[in-house]
Amino acid sequence: MSVPQEFVAVLDFGSQYAQLIARRIREHEVYAEILPHTTPAAQLRGGRAPIGIVLTGGPASVYAEGAPRCDPEILRLGVPVLAICYGMQLACLLLGGDVRPAAGREFGRTRARVLDAADLLEGVPAETTVWMSHGDAVDRVGADFRPLAATDNCPLAAVRHRSAPVYGVQFHPEVTHTVEGGRIFRNFLYRICRARGEWRTASLIERAVAGIREQVKDAGVVCGLSGGVDSAVTALLGHRAVGERLASIFVDNGLLRVGEREAVEKTFREALGLRLRTVDAAERFLEALRGVTDPEEKRTRIGHLFVDVFAEEARGIPGARFLAQGTLYPDVIESVSAHGGPTARIKTHHNVGGLPAALPFGLVEPLRDLFKDEVRRMGTALGLPEDLVWRHPFPGPGLAVRVLGEVTRERLATVRAADAIVREEIRRAGLERHVAQAFAVLLPVASVGVMGDGRTYEAAVAVRAVTTDDFMTADWARLPAEVLATISSRIINEVRGVNRVVYDVSTKPPSTIEWE
Ligand code: XMP
* Binding site membership of 393 for ligand 1 (Cβ less than 6 Å): yes
- Whole-angstrom distance, CA of residue 335 vs CA of residue 349: 6
Q: Are the beta carbons of 406 and 292 closer than 8 angstroms?
A: yes
pLDDT at 120 over 90: yes
Query: Of the ranges 80-84, 402-406, 411-415, 507-511, which one carries the lowest mean pLDDT score?
Result: 507-511
Q: Whose CA is nearest to atom 3 of ligand 1?
A: 512
Which of the listed residues 335, 423, 513 should we mutate to test ligand 1's pocket, taking the one with most ligand atoms within 8 A of CB? 513
Q: How confident is the model at residue 383 (pLDDT cuts 50, 70, 90)?
A: confident
Instruction: Tell me, yes or no, if 70 is annotated catalytic.
Output: no
Locate the ligand 1 atom nearest the alpha carbon of residue 401 and give its number. 19
Which of the listed residues 367, 375, 514 should we mutate to test ligand 1's pocket, taking the one with most ligand atoms within 8 A of CB? 514
Mean pLDDT along residues 463-486: 94
- DSSP secondary structure string, 411-423? HHHHHHHHHHHHH
pLDDT at 407 over 90: yes
* Binding site membership of 349 for ligand 1 (Cβ less than 6 Å): yes
Q: Whose CA is nearest to atom 20 of ligand 1?
A: 395
State what percent of residues in the chain have pLDDT above 90.
Answer: 66
Q: Whose CA is nearest to atom 7 of ligand 1?
A: 471
Q: Are the beta carbons of 496 and 412 closer than 8 angstroms?
A: no
Locate the ligand 1 atom nearest the alpha carbon of residue 346 and give its number. 3
Q: How confident is the model at residue 3 (pLDDT cuts 50, 70, 90)?
A: low
β-sheet bridge partners, residue 504: none
Strands (E), 203-307: 220-225, 246-252, 276-280
Q: Whose CA is nearest to atom 21 of ligand 1?
A: 395
- DSSP secondary structure string, 379-411? HHHTT--HHHHTPPP--TTGGGGGB-S---HHH
234 to each of 24, 74, 213, 359, 378, how far by Cα in Å?
22, 37, 13, 19, 10
Q: Is 469 exposed, middle or buried, given 0-12, 13-18 or 19+ CB atoms closer than 10 A?
A: middle
Report CA(437)–ligand 1 centroid distance (Å).
10
H/E run at residue 311: helix 295-314
Report CA(97)–ligand 1 centroid distance (Å).
41
Report CA(441)–ligand 1 centroid distance (Å).
14
pLDDT at 133 over 80: yes
Locate the ligand 1 atom nearest the alpha carbon of residue 334 and give its number. 3
Residue 386 or residue 334, greater confidence: 386
State what percent of residues in the chain have pLDDT above 70.
Answer: 93
pLDDT at 493 over 80: yes
H/E run at residue 293: none
pLDDT at 179 over 80: yes
Mean predicted lDDT score pLDDT of the chain: 90
Most confident of 65-69, 167-171, 339-343: 167-171
Locate the ligand 1 atom nearest the alpha carbon of residue 392 and give its number. 24
Q: Whose CA is nearest to atom 4 of ligand 1?
A: 513
In the prediction, which pLDDT does 1 show?
Answer: 39
- Whole-angstrom distance, CA of residue 252 vs CA of residue 279: 6
Report CA(309)–ligand 1 centroid distance (Å).
21
Instruction: Tell me, yes or no, if 239 is annotated catalytic.
Output: no
Q: Is 460 exposed, middle or buried, given 0-12, 13-18 or 19+ CB atoms closer than 10 A?
A: middle
In the prediction, which pLDDT does 104 show?
Answer: 65
pLDDT at 512 over 50: yes
- Whole-angstrom distance, CA of residue 23 vs CA of residue 404: 34
Instruction: Tell me, yes or no, if 27 is annotated catalytic.
Output: no
Q: How confident is the model at residue 18 (pLDDT cuts 50, 70, 90)?
A: very high
pLDDT at 386 over 60: yes
- Whole-angstrom distance, CA of residue 440 vs CA of residue 428: 17
Report CA(334)–ligand 1 centroid distance (Å).
9
pLDDT at 300 over 60: yes
In the prediction, which pLDDT does 343 show?
Answer: 47
* Binding site membership of 11 for ligand 1 (Cβ less than 6 Å): no
Mean pLDDT along residues 108-122: 94
* Binding site membership of 373 for ligand 1 (Cβ less than 6 Å): no
Which residue is catalytic, options 6, 70, 85, 92? 85
Q: Is 218 exposed, middle or buried, given 0-12, 13-18 or 19+ CB atoms closer than 10 A?
A: exposed
β-sheet bridge partners, residue 169: 84, 158
Mean pLDDT along residues 479-488: 98
* Spatial CB neighbours of 497, under 8 Å, sequence gap ≥ 6: 410, 414, 458, 459
Which residue is catalytic, options 172, 239, 339, 350? 172
* Binding site membership of 306 for ligand 1 (Cβ less than 6 Å): no
Distance of CA 438 to the CA centre of its chain: 17
Q: Whose CA is nearest to atom 10 of ligand 1?
A: 395
Radius of gyration of the chain (CA): 25
Report CA(284)–ligand 1 centroid distance (Å).
23
* Binding site membership of 437 for ligand 1 (Cβ less than 6 Å): yes
Query: Of the ranges 234-248, 322-336, 471-485, which one carries the lowest mean pLDDT score?
Result: 322-336
Mean pLDDT along residues 367-376: 89
pLDDT at 96 over 60: yes
In the prediction, which pLDDT does 178 show?
Answer: 95
Q: How confident is the model at residue 338 (pLDDT cuts 50, 70, 90)?
A: very low
Q: Which pTM value belongs to this model? A: 0.70
In the prediction, which pLDDT does 263 show?
Answer: 86
